[in-house]
Amino acid sequence: MDMVLRSRRVATLEGVRPASIHVSSGRIVRVEGWDDVTAGAALVDTGDLLVMPGIVDTHVHVNEPGRTSWEGFETATRAAAAGGVTTILDMPLNSIPATTTVKALEAKRAAASGKCVVNVEFIGGVVPGNTSELEGLRDAGVRAFKCFLSPSGVDEFSHVTERDLSKAFPVLSRLGLPLMVHAEDPALLLPSASSPLYASYLASRPIDAEHSAIELLVGLMNRSPAPVHVVHLSSATSVGITRAARVRGLPLSVETCPHYLTFAAEEIVDGATEFKCAPPIRSAEERENLWQALLAGEIDLVASDHSPCPPSMKRTHGDFSSAWGGIASLQLSLSAVWTGARSRGIPPERLAQWMSAAPARLAGLDGSKGALAPGYDADITVWDPDARFVVDPASLLHRHQVTPYAGREHYGIVRRTYVGGRLVFGDDLSS
């Protein structure tokens, strides 16, 4: 059935304005004035709710097949829909097998079949010795590649060295897909002794480790300009390096995550292992520097780095050294980022750029995702930026509800999520 969805606040390519979005066969066919309604079409009038392109989250660990006790496609995509996310890119780890071969990709696609309520795309892995697999993975449809410069935390996804990347970069340059990189120099990481002290964990993964790793990547790009995307930047210290590289025309992009924009090391009490991630959450000053870099366009996008695990792996009697390093936030990314943006006077339409348009471009989905425009898929998020709620872990649809956001007041409630014009979350208000 054709649908017209209208609102007084629609984030289009021309800015926020009253508009009606005309949808047919799962795609946007027209964006017109608010009072333009096609006779016979189902009308969804959202009033003053904000309508924006569905969020594209390019950094999600679904962990299926192999670790469905951690997460899985069914729970991850339901949580995504509840958070206004209409497309996820699944990382090549922590599934078993890791997505480093075409055979493993096929196994992952089979595992996802029939379980997903949002769009799912896949990322291939770059590990020592699999350079010959990369072209096949590209041809089989992966949207990007991922590697770690430091140990990943799972045995089946080994980190790469400069020598490994020197072999892979010429191939990646030819293939043209971005290489997403966990950028920490292992030589600068310190052994993390058993301790409940957050300061000890923070000191074990210094800012210099990120800085050194990004310098290495730029050096490799100077020789073979493969597209590189630095994931989960925790400090804006390296922005000068990335800016200079981009001025020289190198295809380098950068993301940060909601937790780096929300929390600060000074606020984390000892033993609160739910805050552990890598790189770690840094100081309040670093948090503000990240916001400034995001506003200046030095950081391109925000992605969740949704990295869940069983509660027993996260709650380790307060020991940061043994706790899993990851934060599950797929359902909360929009509200977390908006809460921080709102407090800084940033308008909500900026989130459409950071969380929809830019990630769609990174994934090669621009033209079909990331904008409310004719010819694009009708992936639409309808949310109330003025509504407040307190994060209740019991309301989260992830497989596990351990979260550092528990008890925090957030602004921004998702009311409806559409994928290809089909309602996948919220109440049906069509008439």
Report residue 316 CA to chain centroid gap.
Answer: 26
pLDDT of residue 429: 56
| Topology of the domain covering 54-362 | TIM Barrel (3.20.20)
> Is 44 within 8 Å of 84 (Cβ atoms)?
no
d(CA 353, CA 359): 8
pLDDT tens track, the chain, 431 positions:
699 999 999 998 788 999 999 999 999 999 999 999 988 889 999 999 999 999 999 999 999 999 999 999 999 999 999 999 999 999 999 999 999 999 999 999 999 999 999 999 999 999 999 999 999 999 999 999 999 999 999 999 999 999 999 999 999 999 999 999 999 999 999 987 899 999 999 999 999 999 999 999 999 999 999 999 999 999 999 999 999 999 999 999 999 999 999 999 999 999 999 999 999 999 999 999 999 999 999 999 999 999 999 999 998 889 999 999 999 999 999 999 999 999 999 999 999 999 999 999 999 999 999 999 999 999 999 999 999 999 999 999 999 999 999 999 999 999 999 999 999 999 865 54
d(CA 217, CA 228): 8
d(CA 402, CA 388): 21
pLDDT of residue 49: 98
Q: Please report where in the chains the tokens 């949207």 appear, as a residue.
A: 143
Taking Cα atoms as reference points, which of 322, 275, 330 lies closest to residue 120? 330
pLDDT of residue 13: 78
Evaluate if pTM is beyond 0.85: yes
Taking Cα atoms as reference points, which of 422, 276, 408, 401 lies closest to residue 331? 401
pLDDT of residue 361: 99
Structure tokens at 151: 């140990």
Structure tokens at 386: 């003025």
pLDDT of residue 237: 94
